[in-house]
């Protein structure tokens, strides 16, 4: 029996490529029929992994790559009915069934009112989020924040493409406001804009078989050259994004 879902992740940088190799090995053991789509800066690191479909990717997020998840998701959904977006720093620890089912749209495990979430963790973001909600013609108090480390997108007659487009647009606006992390804000706003109800059924089955390491808290040695290069590439991406955003001046700059 073939399965109609796959996994996907980002593997940018040596640390995350190694973590993704571990993840692919886990999947081969615990979900052997599943493929994992990987957007990476070095596809050669995955040549020997039969369950990995690796594609060359250059980061589009100005500072962080979190909103780039939408791009690998779109690629995965061009071939599969559903795609499980899983962070590279996750281990699979138990069998995952072949016959999983999710409702069309987005399925997550953590879903909370966006205003309440921001008030608790990042109150300084509320002004930008309210401005963005107004541009999208959405009542912010009815928008959900969604957990972003493990979630599922299932085809919905093309509405998923609209969702990805809004996610990218919203994520870019927030970057221009200095908000680079917490893509659950952008995802929640995009889901609300396309009229998606956030589902939870079917998420727990996958979650119970995983363990999230959260490698973002694991520091890696870096030289002064590495720091300088990061700054240079950040400003290069930011300037390019600002120029491109001029095509939608009203949304990004008014």
Percent pLDDT > 70 in the chain is 95
* Mean pLDDT, residues 67-83 taken together: 98
| Domain range list for the chain | 5-220, 222-254
Question: Cα angle vertex 213, ends 36, 64, to 5°?
Answer: 70
Cα dihedral across residues 62, 65, 66, 69: positive or negative? positive
pLDDT tens readout for residues 20-38: 999 999 999 999 999 999 9
Length of the chain: 254
| Structure tokens, 158 | 């093309």
- Burial (CB < 10 A; 0-12, 13-18, 19+), residue 207, is middle
The pTM of this model reads: 0.94
Task: Identify the pLDDT of residue 63.
Answer: 94
Task: Identify the pLDDT of residue 231.
Answer: 84
Q: Residue 226 pLDDT > 90, yes or no?
A: no
- The CATH superfamily of 5-220 is Spore Coat Polysaccharide Biosynthesis Protein SpsA; Chain A (3.90.550.10)
Q: Residue 217 pLDDT > 60, yes or no?
A: no
Task: Identify the pLDDT of residue 42.
Answer: 98
> Taking the CA of residue 77 as centre, how many other CA atoms within 13 Å lie in the half-sphere pointing to its CB?
25
What's the rounded Cα separation, in Å, for the pair 113 and 116? 5
pLDDT tens readout for residues 91-147: 999 999 999 999 999 999 989 999 999 999 999 999 999 999 999 999 999 999 999
């Amino acid at each position: 029996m073939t399965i109609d879902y796959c996994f996907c992740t980002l593997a940018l940088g040596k640390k995350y490529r190694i973590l993704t190799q571990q993840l692919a090995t886990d999947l081969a053991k615990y979900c052997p029929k599943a493929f994992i789509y990987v957007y990476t800066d070095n596809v050669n690191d995955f040549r020997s992994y039969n369950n990995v479909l690796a594609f060359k990717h250059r980061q589009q997020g100005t500072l962080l790559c979190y909103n780039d998840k939408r791009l690998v998701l779109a690629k995965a959904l061009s071939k599969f009915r559903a795609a499980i977006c899983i962070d590279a720093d996750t281990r699979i620890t138990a069998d995952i069934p072949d016959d999983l089912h999710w409702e069309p749209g987005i399925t997550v495990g953590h879903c909370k009112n966006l205003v309440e979430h921001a008030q608790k963790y990042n109150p300084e973001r509320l002004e930008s989020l309210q401005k963005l909600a107004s541009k999208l013609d959405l009542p912010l108090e009815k928008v959900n924040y969604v957990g972003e480390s493990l979630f599922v997108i299932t085809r919905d007659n093309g509405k998923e493409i609209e969702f990805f487009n809004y996610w990218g647009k919203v994520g870019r606006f927030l970057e221009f406001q200095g908000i680079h992390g917490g893509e659950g804000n952008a995802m929640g706003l995009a889901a609300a804009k396309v009229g998606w109800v956030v589902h939870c059924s079917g998420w727990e089955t996958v979650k119970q078989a995983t363990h999230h390491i959260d490698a973002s808290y694991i520091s890696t040695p870096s030289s002064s050259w590495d720091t300088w290069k990061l700054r240079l590439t950040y400003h290069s991406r930011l300037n390019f994004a600002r120029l491109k955003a001029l095509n939608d001046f009203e949304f990004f700059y008014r």
